Structure 1
Amino acid sequence: MIGWAQIIYGAVLSALVAGLLLAAVLRGRRPLVIATGTLAAALGPLTWNAILRAAHGDQFFTDAPLVVFPVSWQDTGSGVFALAAATLGLGLGPLRTEPARRAAVYALLVGVAALVVDVYLY
């Protein structure tokens, strides 16, 4: 089970990577979209890991036996929660008048960033 310091570290790192990824894709043109995605990338993993900690979900931390991509259910949950938070935040917020496909692509980038950070960096 990971502690609060590691949970917060992972949330901050996920936010940083997602923000940089969105800024690169958007070339800095949509600061509110970048900020919303960054916030979602922090809140998703933070919420998921807080749930696992409260529920004593130790079994979620078992990595898949894949050397190249040792993903666990815990890692997957971080990505899914970031994707959900980004979808809601972007779809109801700064991209509410944009095509759904655009909001979905940006939300997917946020989810993938959180997943990759979780798998490889904490």
Structure 2
Amino acid sequence: MEEIIGTTDEESSTYNSIMELILPKLRSLRLYELPELKSICSAKLTFNSLKDIDVMDCEKLKRMPICLPLLENSQPSLLPSLKYKRAYPVEWWETVVEWEHPNTKDVLRPYVKFG
């Protein structure tokens, strides 16, 4: 699997392609041992109730489209519901090159458990 939420060629070429995907009831995002995964989806993902994120052994995943709420200074902040974040290997975390907001990685890093 290379992409979790994909679009057809016809959908991706139209003007009305999905820009944001809101998943208000999603509580857990767990991605385990998906060696060919490159993308969760091309849209910005908004989770209002997300409690935990686990990304383990998905080393080709280079884009994390997770949209965190923004503070008044336009910087991302943690979701109040997000309690558990885990990533493996640590090298994968360091190589994720595209985040929805460029500072998302810095906001999450102190709270992520590796391993």
Q: Tell me the TM-score normalized by structure 1.
A: 0.23
Higher-strand-fraction structure: 2
Q: Using CA pairs below 8 Å that are at least 6 residues apart, which structure has the higher relative contact order? A: 1
Q: Tell me the TM-score normalized by structure 2.
A: 0.24
